[in-house]
Amino acid sequence: MKINFLDLKESNPPPSANNGGNDILTEYLIGRMFDIHMESSRTLWDRKMFDEELKREGSGFLICYADSGFADSDNSRISLKKFTEKDIEPALKIGLQSLIVGFFIYYNVLDEMHILDITVSKEMQSKGIGSLMLNMVIKKNSEAGIKHFFLEVRTSNIAAINLYKKFGFKIFMLRKNYYDDNGEDALCMVKES
């Protein structure tokens, strides 16, 4: 199985454009991102927030998807696999048959990036996909002049904290009672490029 990435804001024509973009595909992509978000994330956005964020100037949407061959694959075999750079297939065209396995949403202002959400579908976690997405976004945006990468994460979210630490993020502040649902604290983390 190959995995692929699509920058939703930079694809040409932009699937999100009202004037001739592929609205059906965008609708499918956002819908699938929302499903993954509901299944895997504890900080819940509603569906409208995805649409609004997509329209916002300065936002970025990276989508990770598997080719349609995934549907016929033997899941037990896939579960043994850890993805690396060599598994990336840049040429594949995304279509309604593609399986979305993760996404990364961020927002850039001046020389700062604010990471808003990075989520991998449950069955595809711990296979290197989060790392590939983070690596791709940080590299591209560093080259484009982003110097500071910020994020907030629940103090209980060990997998995410480990991922960010692996990429050189450092804790710089604790926000007490940051999350509405359970009053959990947030770690504020930053990486300087």
Nearer to ligand COA, 131 or 142 (CB): 131
Query: Which residues in the 94-133 window bind ligand COA by CB under 6 A?
Result: 118-120, 125-131
> In the chain, which residue ranges form alpha helices assigned H by DSSP?
23-40, 47-55, 75-79, 129-143, 158-166
Nearer to ligand COA, 56 or 166 (CB): 166
Residue of 53, 65, 106, 164 marked active site: 164
Helix, strand, coil percent values for the chain (each to nearest 5): 35, 30, 35
Binding track, positions 141-170, relative to ligand COA; x by CB under 6 A: ------------x---xxxx-xx--x----
Q: Is 124 exposed, middle or buried (0-12, 13-18, 19+ CB in 10 A)?
A: buried
What is the rounded distance in angstroms from the CA atom of residue 160 to the CA atom of residue 158?
6
Binding track, positions 61-100, relative to ligand COA; x by CB under 6 A: ----------------------------------------
Query: Each residue of 16-39: b (16+ CB within 10 Å) or e?
Result: beeeeebeebbebbbebbbebbee
Nearer to ligand COA, 25 or 83 (CB): 83
Query: Which residues in the 13-42 window bind ligand COA by CB under 6 A?
Result: 40-41
Count of CB atoms situated within 10 Å of the CB of 71 = 10
Q: Is 152 a catalytic residue?
A: yes
Q: How far is the CB of 186 from ligand COA (least distance, A)?
A: 9
Q: Is 27 a catalytic residue?
A: no
Q: How far is the CB of 165 from ligand COA (least distance, A)?
A: 7
Residue of 27, 28, 107, 152 marked active site: 152
Dihedral of alpha carbons 130, 93, 34, 151, sign: positive
What are the catalytic residues? 152, 164
| Binding footprint of ligand COA on the chain (CB under 6 A) | 40-41, 118-120, 125-131, 153, 157-160, 162-163, 166
